[in-house]
């Protein structure tokens, strides 16, 4: 049987300040899916509407990648810290999300993709948080912070075979839940009260006196939906354990009804 097809919604490099860096960022998603034995098919807001519809309709899984802020009108708010909205990208991601839902195909969201999943399911975002966004990719060392898995979550079961930062397996250590050092490129966030119905938190990052941020989420039922706020495709600043996230995603796509048709 052929490798599972993964539709990846991408930022349009032509609209980026650094077009070469934008193309490289897109290629990292494609390469990561290939390493996990999937067949990536990238599309962006310039992809012809009919072709984009055909791609997502045939996909066995959908990856919603990083990019510009979502339009806050999608969650019923006026702009208050949101910058660089790309409404054509919002439409692309929403169409891919709906197509995946019709087929119950697995969905993986990365950074903006996590936020999109939450918004599309009825949640909201904090439009700006300080201290989580450093230099753009390729322009300096990223911000690094601690990310803590929720014991027993789908993501913990996927990632935590050997434990974070040398801890033992099982999602929790003698000193508490397993945590990792991960990169941080975002300035918007999800807090626990912002979570959409049907989603549960799978990981948190500390936001100091303002409390925890939801930095991973997943479906509350058995459908394969996972989102992470950091960028695990950027392997130089991500623990190797998160390669298992992509492997699990592609494996779920391999088992999806669309791939068995």
Measured CA to CA, the distance from residue 75 to residue 90 in angstroms comes to: 12
Query: 76: which 2 tokens?
Result: 């019923």
The active-site residue, picked from 132, 218, 233, 259, is 233
- Between helix 49-58 and helix 87-103 the angle, nearest 10°, is 30
The active-site residue, picked from 132, 145, 186, 231, is 231
Q: How many CB atoms within 10 Å of residue 131?
A: 11
259 counts as catalytic: no
Three-class secondary structure of residue 159 per DSSP: helix
111 counts as catalytic: yes
Strand duo 212-219 + 199-206: pairing: antiparallel
231 counts as catalytic: yes
The continuous run of DSSP H or E covering 259 comes out as helix 257-260
The active-site residue, picked from 111, 132, 145, 186, is 111
Closest CA to 228 of 175, 122, 150, 161: 150
Helices (H), 6-111: 19-35, 49-58, 87-103
Which residues are known catalytic residues?
111, 231, 233
């Amino acid at each position: 049987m052929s490798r599972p097809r993964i539709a990846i919604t991408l930022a349009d490099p032509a609209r980026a300040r650094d077009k070469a860096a934008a193309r490289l960022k897109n290629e990292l998603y494609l390469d990561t899916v290939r390493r996990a034995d999937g067949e990536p098919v990238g599309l962006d807001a310039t992809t012809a509407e009919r072709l984009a519809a055909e791609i997502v309709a045939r996909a066995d899984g959908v990856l919603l990648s990083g990019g510009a802020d979502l339009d806050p009108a999608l969650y019923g708010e006026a702009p208050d810290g949101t910058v660089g909205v790309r409404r054509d990208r919002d439409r692309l991601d929403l169409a891919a999300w709906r197509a995946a839902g019709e087929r119950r195909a697995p969905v993986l969201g990365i950074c903006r993709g996590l936020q999109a999943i939450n918004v599309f399911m009825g949640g909201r975002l904090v439009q700006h948080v300080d201290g989580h966004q450093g230099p753009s990719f390729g322009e300096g060392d990223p911000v690094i912070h601690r990310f803590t898995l929720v014991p027993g979550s789908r993501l913990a079961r996927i990632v935590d075979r050997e434990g974070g930062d040398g801890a033992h397996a099982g999602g929790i250590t003698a000193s508490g839940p397993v945590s990792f050092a991960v990169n941080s490129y975002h300035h918007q966030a999800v807090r626990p009260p912002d979570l959409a119905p049907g989603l549960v938190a799978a990981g948190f990052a500390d936001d100091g006196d303002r409390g925890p941020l939801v930095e991973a989420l997943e479906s509350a039922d058995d459908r394969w939906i996972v989102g992470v706020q950091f960028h695990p495709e950027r392997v130089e600043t991500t623990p190797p354990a998160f390669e298992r996230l992509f492997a699990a995603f592609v494996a779920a796509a391999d088992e999806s009804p669309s791939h068995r048709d």
